[in-house]
A = this chain, B = another copy of it.
Amino acid sequence: MTQSKVMVAQGGGPTAVINQSLVGAILESRKFRGVERVYGAFHGVRGIVNEDFLDLTQETTHNLEMVGETPSSALGSTRDKPDLAYCQEIFRVLKAHGVGYFFYVGGNDSSDTVRIVAEEAIKADYDLACIHIPKTIDNDLVVNDHTPGFPSAARFVAQAFMGVNLDNWALPGVYVGVVMGRHSGFLTAASALGKKFTDDGPNLIYLPERDFDVDRFCREVKEVYDRQGRCVVAVSEGIHDGSGNPIITSLAKQVEHDEHGNVQLSGTGALADLLVQVIKDKTGIKRVRGDTLGYLQRSFVGCVSDVDQREAREVGEKAVQYAMWGAKTGSVTIHRTGFYSVDYQLSDLNAVAGKTRVMPDDFIADTNNDITDAFRLYLRPLLGRGMPDAYRLRSSNFVERILHKDRPWTKG
């Protein structure tokens, strides 16, 4: 049997543009004469070991284009993190089906899987190209300038905070929004991109790259609130104290919240609720509200960056090109050129696999509760065309009071 088949799969958390990468890989593969079939595995590596394959050679180009514009993994995904034995089983199945090209769209765990499968193929002297196609809303892949999926999630977060800031202006108080990102603060930092005026929220941004101190947090919230009568806060779900303990754990005790092991501490609204409670307790501010942005961040339909879509398509296409022109293994990486354009490279899997990128220091303000203009300059072009903008009534033309001449202005 010749190795003339292509296998493509998607792993990890879905993104708004992960199907662009899938479609890029499928359509590009179908252009090459040597490719007999393009297979897609359902639910990532688990679908491979289960032999749950769809023949994508028979899918229409038109439907593929529509699927490309649809968020979340169209082949399904998996949280499985294969060990050596699992990767050997993947290789066994790929070999049995005469697969010569394996493309896996995913984050750093997925890139590690690709790396091990590639090693198995070399050991077995089997001709298999194994290419990792990057995606993650966390933007935590090293080597890359940024990662497909992040720009669209960032745009959602920026637009969400643009809206809650306006809402908080209309009905003042404290608002806490919890954003995804356990180790890397890129997505939380994106909340700042909807700011226009100096008093716009988020007024405070707390990232997992810095230690979080509950007392300082409450003090800083109160400072902003006392100054401008309201305060919008963006908090990463991954905030932790100086010893690395998640804040959600210590807070759960601090507000005397008895959980009996019943209350799930992640993937829920618990952190936002606890932060709201601690602000109320420690500052005496009454109107304090919390939201957890949750799954909407990575799968909302209708809030996508066109730059992200294009790049996600291109990394899928480039992966196939690299493989077809002879590359045996690697990870497609994105590199910024000019302001703004990108170029792609095939990087060594060992440089990417299993590593986590965090926000560089120059993206984080010295106060540890805000981002810098360097980060704004980095993120803005990724958000793409048609970013909405918020407008205010100009508040210069106050009307002279008649009945209460001595009362100070309460707004302006």
Contact of A256 among B13, B262, B394 (CB under 8 A): B262
Contact of A269 among B162, B290, B407 (CB under 8 A): B290
Taking CB atoms and an 8 Å cut-off, the chain A residues in 293-327 that contact chain B are 293-296, 298-303
Taking residues whose C-beta sits less than 8 angstroms from the other chain, chain A's interface range is: 35 or more
Taking CB atoms and an 8 Å cut-off, the chain A residues in 139-179 that contact chain B are 159-160, 162-164, 166-167, 169-171, 175
Contact of A75 among B14, B51, B393 (CB under 8 A): B393
Chain B contacts for A385, CB-based, 8 A: none
In the assembled complex, the CB of A298 is this many whole angstroms from the nearest CB of chain B, namely 7
In the assembled complex, the CB of A94 is this many whole angstroms from the nearest CB of chain B, namely 11
Chain B contacts for A268, CB-based, 8 A: 269, 272-273, 276, 289-290
Chain B contacts for A52, CB-based, 8 A: 409-411
Q: Are B390 and A70 in contact (CB under 8 A)?
A: yes
Q: Are A403 and B76 in contact (CB under 8 A)?
A: no
The CA-CA distance from A56 to B399 in the complex, in Å, is 10
Contact of A411 among B43, B390, B410 (CB under 8 A): B43
Oligomer: number of copies? 2
Interface string of A260-273 (1 = CB under 8 A from B): 10111001111011
A214 at the interface (CB under 8 A from B): no
Chain B contacts for A389, CB-based, 8 A: 66
Interface string of A238-273 (1 = CB under 8 A from B): 000000000000000001111110111001111011
A335 at the interface (CB under 8 A from B): no
A369 at the interface (CB under 8 A from B): no
A73 at the interface (CB under 8 A from B): yes
The CA-CA distance from A258 to B54 in the complex, in Å, is 50
Q: Are A402 and B301 in contact (CB under 8 A)?
A: no
A55 at the interface (CB under 8 A from B): yes
A21 at the interface (CB under 8 A from B): no
Chain B contacts for A58, CB-based, 8 A: 397
Interface string of A88-101 (1 = CB under 8 A from B): 00001100110000
List 9 A-B residue pairs with CB atoms under 8 Å apart, sorted by A's residue number.
A37-B399, A42-B412, A50-B407, A51-B399, A51-B404, A66-B391, A70-B166, A74-B392, A257-B263
Knowing that A74-B391, A263-B277 are A-B contacts, what are 13 other residue pairs whose CB atoms are under 8 Å apart, sorted by A's residue number?
A: A10-B170, A51-B404, A51-B407, A53-B398, A53-B399, A70-B391, A76-B411, A163-B296, A166-B301, A256-B260, A262-B281, A268-B269, A293-B296
